[in-house]
Amino acid sequence: MSALDPVAVFRMEAAECLEAIEAGLLDLTHQLDNKDLVDAVFRGLHTLKGSGAMFGFEALAAFTHHCETAFDRVRKGEVAATSELVAAVLAAQDHMRALVEQPDADHGDTGHKLLAQLQAAVGGKTATPATAAAAVTAPVQNTSGKNSWRIRFSLPASSMANGTNPLGLLDELRDLGECTVRANTSAIPPLDALTPTELYVSWDVTLTSEQDRSAIDDVFIFVLDDMELSVDEIDGTVAIAAAPAEAGPARLAAASVSPAPVPAAAVPEFRPVEAVPVKREAPVAASQAKAAENVRVPAERLDELMDRVGELVIAQSRLSQLAGASTDIALRSVSEEIERLSGELRDTMMVLRMVPVATLFSRFRRLVHDLARETGKVIELVTEGETTEVDKTVIERLADPLVHLVRNSIDHGLETPDDRLAAGKTEAGTVTLSARQAGGEVIISIKDDGRGINRERVRAKAESSGLILPGQPLSDQELLQLIFAPGFSTAAAITNLSGRGVGMDVVKKTVEALRGAIDIVSVPGQGSEVSLRIPLTLAIIDGLLVRVGSGRYVIPLSAVEECLELSLEEDLRSRGRSFISLRDSLVPFLRLRDLFRTGTKPDVHQKVVVISTGTERVGLVVDQIIGDHQTVIKSMSKLHNDVATFSGATILGDGSVALILDVGHLVAAGQQQEAQLRVAG
Amino acid sequence: MRAAATVERFDNHWNYAEEVEVLTFDLNGETFALEAVIVQEILDLLPETAVPGSQPFVASVINFRGKVIPLADLRLAFGMEAAEATIDSRFIVIEIDLQGEPTLVGLRTDKVNEVTTLTKNASEAPPSVGMRWRADYINCLVKRGGEFIILPNLQAIFSSRHDAAGAVN
């Protein structure tokens, strides 16, 4: 496999970074005085700026710098975190995303506008004591406001290779106040043992500053996890005495930056505090453990692995055939062992593609946040079952339909706060996104506690647009399903959000393309729930393996209703009309032998597989039903794009290929062919 | 116009190099050559699965190392007679770019010969007359010994439709 393009890697990382920033910002909207969240967002912005600059995304780095600065001021307690600021940075975050995607595109003055907003949000407002979290964490302050510190730090030997520049850290310390720096060179090995790229020097710094302790920590914020740092509060005399002794005689590159600090400001009553070395070992272990939890793998590598496993399974089935025919006990036992292992490997493989729906749900927090601002409704988003796992492809394809459904719930389902209060409900409407697994399916539902679907309006609309006849009796479910009809909308006035009905047909199509189904439950005045039932994975389906002529085909089991025999007399009788009666209802059928032009004679005992395409029941006449088959779906190449009858292919135990029928297209193709036959007479 | 286009294609094919390494194979008594770099593997015959409704040119698929890949028959592109497989018949698996996507395709051959080097000096653009094959399906002809080796233009062959009797649209 080719090495990954560094820019592509940066984009992936930036996307994750932006997601983290967004999540932090959204959390922050609820807890404006949470210092940890402010720090998290700041760190995210800083990382994005840094790596952006490193990979040549200058515009991104420059723009992000401003947001970072704004958050830095919040961190330092200079300004309060306000919802305006969070909103401004949220908006800015979208711009950053655009800058990551298309760094060279002309983004006009979006950036300037956003920065102006940011400025307005930050400018002029100073922190109120309640939100100035920095004040709380400040250490014992002495009366004059100046502190002296002795800072000792050493970086890991490999840190220069990682791009850390100790000089930068020293410069930042110098910015904090008067500062004496001494290098401790005692660890430098003899010349022949010296590796030029490694760092052997550690530093003793005496700093007198008006800043508090956290300012020092901030200098080291990005290297803190890997380094040793001790910060002691001292008075001037101790500092002078102690430091040279520690530094040792080999004061080789001692960088005496500013005159020796005899801080007049150091206050006598300020007693030395016990040295508490800040060794960050525990957090290091924790963060490493966390990093090891996830490995980013391109999907195509997984597909390749899947192919290999598929081959292995086929080779294994050949082996077990050979072993079965042999009398060699040892061979048989090895074959059984390999059968077990390859089965397990296949199961593991399938799980690799599964990702928790949390990744999908997290996107909706932002959407709901924006929609709440846009509509003036008070909305609470509740998510449940985020650990439920679904195939990654399914998740990607569901994103848009779910956006639609959530928008609809908010736009049409939820009432305004006033209406809700009038109806005796809480002011805040709740939208619940939940996922759970049920057998081979995952059920994702979007539930709101709004006004529910107005059946009269649905019926009136359907009648006026000719979807149903006036007064046509319909079950409740049938009536509700009408909202998925193309172009259907009950929105009296379509807002700038999409109306219920606009695009609902697309939602239905997407779900059906995933071999899923949609259920709606709606109670007037109490809310609606739309549930999507989606198969867990696209990679495997349960299929019914059948034979037509000499070819073998797979019919998705989810479409199969029943199988029956086509008796010879029924066969003869049906020559002219191509339908059979099944429990008093007529079921048309297609002879796959004719459709596929096999040119073979039919078997004596032909079978009819009755399939349902949702609206219609159709029988497929096959020569033989072989049985259930767990089907690993392989896509067909572009050269077979024009063949709609098959949705893919699979590899059977003997290594041969069987095609998977696309039931919907097959019925359409059959109708077309029959129409042609009728015309031809 | 047409001549100019042919010459350009011809030059492109050689990539302005003097030599090209190829794999030669026989089809219906003619010798064809494929650039060696696109050849993935030479296979003994495998079970084929017919794809009803596809173009006859790519009427079946095979299982190539766990992937389902189309099997193409250049005979049909060149209007030759279809023939039964013989003991020498092999599939050549190549990777070509189809609509921007690298795609594996199997090719039927009557016999796979050798990997050899062809020189530009010996090559000629396909003649505009005196040939029963579509000129745009051929990159060039290379004279070797007393015969011609045909370098097919796979892009042209795979990107055009091969409508023929039996294709269901």
* Chain B contact set for A634 (CB, 8 A): 67-68
Nearest by CB: B63 against A552, A636, A651 = A651
pLDDT band (50, 70, 90) for residue A133: very low
The pLDDT tens digits of the residues spanning A296-345 come to 778 788 878 877 887 787 778 778 878 888 889 999 999 999 988 988 88
Residues in contact with A318: Cβ distance below 8 Å, sequence separation at least 6, in sequence order:
A654, A655
Asked if B163 has any chain A CB less than 8 Å from its own CB, the reply is no
Asked if A675 has any chain B CB less than 8 Å from its own CB, the reply is no
* Chain A contact set for B101 (CB, 8 A): 638
pLDDT at residue B109 in the model: 93
Poorest-confidence range of A273-277, A304-308, A525-529?
A: A273-277
* Chain A contact set for B53 (CB, 8 A): 596, 642-643, 645, 669
Q: Is 0.80 topped by the overall pTM?
A: no
A310–B61 C-beta distance less than 8 A: no
Q: Nearest-CA distance from B157 to chain A in Å?
A: 11
pLDDT band (50, 70, 90) for residue B33: very high
Poorest-confidence range of A73-82, A657-666, B14-23, B107-116?
A: B14-23
Q: How far is the C-alpha of A140 from the C-alpha of A144, rounded, in Å?
A: 12
Enumerate residues 89 to 148 of chain B having a beta carbon within 8 A of any beta carbon in chain A: 98-99, 101, 103-105
Residue A254 clears pLDDT 80, i.e. is over it: no
Q: Which of A317, A600, A639, A646 to mutate to test the interface with B (most CBs of B within 10 A)?
A: A639
Q: Nearest-CA distance from A292 to chain B in Å?
A: 31
The pLDDT tens digits of the residues spanning A620-635 come to 999 999 987 777 778 8
- Residue whose entry in the numeric block shows the structure tokens 């098959």: A646
A597–B98 C-beta distance less than 8 A: no
A341/A294: higher pLDDT: A341
Q: How far is the C-alpha of A434 from the C-alpha of B14, rounded, in Å?
A: 59
Closest alpha carbon to B106 in B152, B139, B58:
B58
B69–A551 C-beta distance less than 8 A: no
The pLDDT tens digits of the residues spanning B101-155 come to 889 999 999 999 989 888 877 777 777 666 677 778 888 888 888 888 888 888 8
The pLDDT tens digits of the residues spanning A373-398 come to 888 888 888 999 888 888 887 888 88
Nearest by CB: B68 against A306, A636, A645 = A636
Instruction: Answer yes or no: are the C-beta atoms of A624 and A550 closer than 8 Å.
Output: no
Q: Work out the number of other CB atoms within 10 angstroms of the CB of residue A479.
A: 19
Gap between the terminal Cα atoms of chain A = 57
Locate all alpha helices (DSSP H) within A83-155, ordered by sequence: 83-101, 110-122, 133-137
Q: Nearest-CA distance from A599 to chain B in Å?
A: 12
Closest alpha carbon to A574 in A602, A545, A616:
A602
Asked if A305 has any chain B CB less than 8 Å from its own CB, the reply is no
Q: Are strands B138-144 and B39-43 parallel, antiparallel or unpaired?
A: unpaired
- Chain-centroid distance of CA A257 in Å reads 49
Nearest by CB: A645 against B52, B158, B166 = B52
Instruction: Answer yes or no: are the C-beta atoms of A589 and A563 closer than 8 Å.
Output: no
Residue A546 clears pLDDT 90, i.e. is over it: yes
Q: How far is the C-alpha of A565 from the C-alpha of A624, rounded, in Å?
A: 10
pLDDT band (50, 70, 90) for residue B84: confident
Asked if A310 has any chain B CB less than 8 Å from its own CB, the reply is yes
**Amino acid code (one letter) for A190:** P
Residues in chain B: 169
Q: How far is the C-alpha of A45 from the C-alpha of A93, rounded, in Å?
A: 9
Average pLDDT, chain A: 76
* Chain A contact set for B55 (CB, 8 A): 639, 642
- Residue whose entry in the numeric block shows the structure tokens 């040792």: A248
pLDDT at residue A218 in the model: 78
A332: buried, middle or exposed (CB in 10 Å: 19+, 13-18, 0-12)?
middle
The mean per-residue pLDDT over the stretch A590-596 comes to: 85
* Chain A contact set for B67 (CB, 8 A): 307, 634
pLDDT at residue A262 in the model: 46
A308–B66 C-beta distance less than 8 A: yes
pLDDT band (50, 70, 90) for residue A575: low
Residues in contact with A408: Cβ distance below 8 Å, sequence separation at least 6, in sequence order:
A498, A499, A500, A504
Asked if A1 has any chain B CB less than 8 Å from its own CB, the reply is no
Q: Nearest-CA distance from B59 to chain A in Å?
A: 9
For the record, the structure tokens of B114 come out as 């050798």
Q: Nearest-CA distance from B47 to chain A in Å?
A: 6
pLDDT band (50, 70, 90) for residue B90: very high
- Chain-centroid distance of CA A415 in Å reads 30
Q: Nearest-CA distance from B97 to chain A in Å?
A: 11
Phi-psi region of A527 (alpha: psi -120 to 50; beta: other; left: phi over 0): left
Nearest by CB: A310 against B66, B99, B105 = B66
Q: How far is the C-alpha of A382 from the C-alpha of A435, rounded, in Å?
A: 11
Nearest by CB: B68 against A596, A597, A651 = A651
pLDDT at residue A318 in the model: 75
B129: buried, middle or exposed (CB in 10 Å: 19+, 13-18, 0-12)?
exposed
Nearest by CB: B58 against A314, A596, A640 = A640
Strand order in the sheet with A517-523: A379-384, A429-438, A441-448, A527-535, A517-523
A634–B53 C-beta distance less than 8 A: no
Q: Nearest-CA distance from B139 to chain A in Å?
A: 21
* Chain A contact set for B169 (CB, 8 A): 642
Q: Which of A592, A640, A661, A671 to mutate to test the interface with B (most CBs of B within 10 A)?
A: A640
Q: How far is the C-alpha of A226 from the C-alpha of A14, rounded, in Å?
A: 23
Gap between the terminal Cα atoms of chain B = 33
Q: Nearest-CA distance from A593 to chain B in Å?
A: 10
Strand order in the sheet with B111-119: B111-119, B19-27, B30-35, B147-152, B138-144, B123-124
Q: Which residue of A has its CA nearest to B104?
A: A637
Residue A486 clears pLDDT 60, i.e. is over it: yes
- The pLDDT > 90 percentage for chain A reads 6
Enumerate residues 606 to 635 of chain A having a beta carbon within 8 A of any beta carbon in chain B: 634-635
pLDDT at residue B130 in the model: 67
pLDDT band (50, 70, 90) for residue A680: low
A92/A269: higher pLDDT: A92
Nearest by CB: A643 against B53, B101, B105 = B53
Residue A139 clears pLDDT 80, i.e. is over it: no
Instruction: Answer yes or no: are the C-beta atoms of B24 and A614 closer than 8 Å.
Output: no
Residue A277 clears pLDDT 50, i.e. is over it: no
A640–B70 C-beta distance less than 8 A: yes
Q: Which of A657, A666, A673, A676 to mutate to test the interface with B (most CBs of B within 10 A)?
A: A657
A637–B98 C-beta distance less than 8 A: yes
Q: Nearest-CA distance from A57 to chain B in Å?
A: 28
A476/A674: higher pLDDT: A476
